[in-house]
Amino acid sequence: MKLYELKKAFETMQLHEALGCAENQQSGALEELQQLGLANIPPEKRSLVGELFYERAKVLLSKAELQSALQALRSACLLDPVNLLFEERARLLQEAILTQNTFGNRTHRDGLQCDLGLFCVRSRCQCEGLFRIATCRGAVEESFVHMRRVGNIAVYTVGPYYAHRPRGKWTGYLKQVKRQFKRELLEPLAEVMASFVLYDTPLMASVDVLVPVPPSPVKLRERGFAPNDILAEYLGRRLALPVYNVLLRTEGTPTRAASRQQLASQFQTRPVCGRRLKGLSFLLVEDIWTSGRTIAICAENLRSYAPKELSVVALGKTA
């Protein structure tokens, strides 16, 4: 056997060993595959390894390691170029990184803090993100339980909402949106929600797509905007998560007055998106929830997509 043939055989053996280690999720296996050359991975293994790189990207995103996550997403796209989710998340993440440290973006973030009146008074602020500043400044109660369950669904909530009491800054912000229709407050509130998801929940390691909970047609006409759509769009740009408006709501009895059956009849899904979303992990986006009936009904509708996992993030929980 000639020298170049020995070298080729050795490289092939290394590649097969690295593939076995990657499939067993052994540490360092994906990095070794990159060194050996992703183009050398056999065609029948590329989709599987692309998925492994994608899962690695989600873990890196949960640690806020954006550049490394982008590199992993690009590797996933290279291995499985027909997977539109990989491509879309890589694009969103690249856009998020490009704007993150620009002067205009920093000024914009400062403006969001100013809109809520949330500034850390310490000489050196150690808070990671606007949610922790909100907690540090007492806008969000430290004793509030941020994760509750509706059945088997994990619901992560930024803060409490006191519907009938003038208590707390967070309730004040939410009432301005809910009752005074101050749409302009939704963006700073979405920034608080984004930093909450990123630094104070495990969601980024699992979530693939965002799905806003649709408002009732009556409330949409009254307000002139859908809060959850605006929240989801901001979160999508900030956290590199695609947004799919797959849930629809029709006219019907108002939520509080409706029976479970009446409320359930108002919701349906868009079947056109089913193939692309099959088997993904969904994060429902909600502004304020009370008993969790709407969340449970939305989850039931999304079962047609066979979600791998389904969680919820909300601005407020009625206390």
In a domain, 176, yes or no: yes
Q: Give pLDDT tens digits for 236-251.
A: 999 999 999 999 999 9
pLDDT at residue number 12: 61
Are 236 and 93 members of one domain? no
Q: At 247, phi and psi to the nearest 5?
A: -95, 135
pLDDT at 6 > cutoff 50: no
Are 214 and 303 members of one domain? yes
Are 75 and 173 members of one domain? no
pLDDT at residue number 61: 95
pLDDT category at 156 given cuts 50, 70, 90 is very high
46-60, 215-229, 261-275 — which is least confidently predicted? 261-275
Are 93 and 165 members of one domain? no
In a domain, 221, yes or no: yes
Are 168 and 310 members of one domain? yes
In a domain, 268, yes or no: yes
pLDDT at residue number 168: 87
Are 158 and 262 members of one domain? yes
pLDDT at residue number 102: 61
pLDDT at 1 > cutoff 50: no
Given a contact cutoff of 8 angstroms between Cβ atoms, the answer to whether 276 and 303 are in contact is: no
Residues 9, 32: Cα–Cα separation, whole Å: 17
Q: What is the CATH number of the domain that holds 271?
A: 3.40.50
In a domain, 7, yes or no: yes
pLDDT at 10 > cutoff 50: no
Given a contact cutoff of 8 angstroms between Cβ atoms, the answer to whether 258 and 267 are in contact is: no
Are 312 and 163 members of one domain? yes
User: In whole angstroms, how large is the CA radius of gyration of the chain?
Assistant: 22
The DSSP-derived string for the chain is --HHHHHHHHHHHHHHHHHHHHHTT-TTHHHHHHHH-GGGS-HHHHHHHHHHHHHHHHHHHHTT-HHHHHHHHHHHHHH-TT-HHHHHHHHHHHHHHHHHTSHHHHHHHHHHHHHHT----SSS----SHHHHHHHTTSS-TT---EEEETTEEEEEEEEE-TTS---HHHHHHHHHHTT--GGGHHHHHHHHHHHHHHHSSGGGT--EEEEPPPPHHHHHHHSS-HHHHHHHHHHHHHT--B---EEE-S-S-TTTS-HHHHHTTEEE-GGGHHHHTT-EEEEEEEEESSSHHHHHHHHHHGGG--SEEEEEEEEEE-
Q: What's the pTM value of the predicted model, to 2 decimals?
A: 0.90
Q: Give pLDDT tens digits for 159-200.
A: 999 988 778 899 999 999 999 999 999 999 999 999 999 999
- Last residue of some domain: 79, 99, 119? 99
**Cα end-to-end distance, the chain, whole Å:** 76
Residues 281, 279: Cα–Cα separation, whole Å: 7
Q: What is the CATH number of the domain that holds 55?
A: 1.25.40
pLDDT at 130 > cutoff 80: yes
pLDDT at residue number 133: 85
pLDDT at residue number 84: 93
Mean pLDDT of 140-169: 93
Are 93 and 149 members of one domain? no
- Last residue of some domain: 46, 80, 99? 99
Mean pLDDT of 4-31: 69
pLDDT at residue number 273: 62
Which of 126 and 210 is assigned the larger pLDDT?
210
Number of domains in the chain: 2
Are 266 and 165 members of one domain? yes
pLDDT at residue number 120: 60
Q: Give pLDDT tens digits for 51-110.
A: 999 999 999 999 999 999 999 999 999 999 999 999 999 999 999 998 876 655 556 666
In a domain, 233, yes or no: yes
In a domain, 119, yes or no: no
pLDDT at residue number 8: 54
Are 154 and 95 members of one domain? no
Angle of helix 43-62 versus helix 29-36 axis, rounded to 10: 130
pLDDT at 265 > cutoff 80: yes
Structure tokens belonging to residue 249: 């709501």
In a domain, 133, yes or no: no
Are 183 and 43 members of one domain? no
Domain assignment of residue 252, given as a range: 144-318
Which of 20 and 258 is assigned the larger pLDDT?
258
Q: Which residues sit opposite 316 in a β-bridge?
A: 159, 288
Q: Give pLDDT tens digits for 106-124.
A: 566 666 677 787 766 555 6
Are 59 and 188 members of one domain? no
- Last residue of some domain: 45, 71, 99? 99
In a domain, 278, yes or no: yes
Given a contact cutoff of 8 angstroms between Cβ atoms, the answer to whether 169 and 138 are in contact is: yes
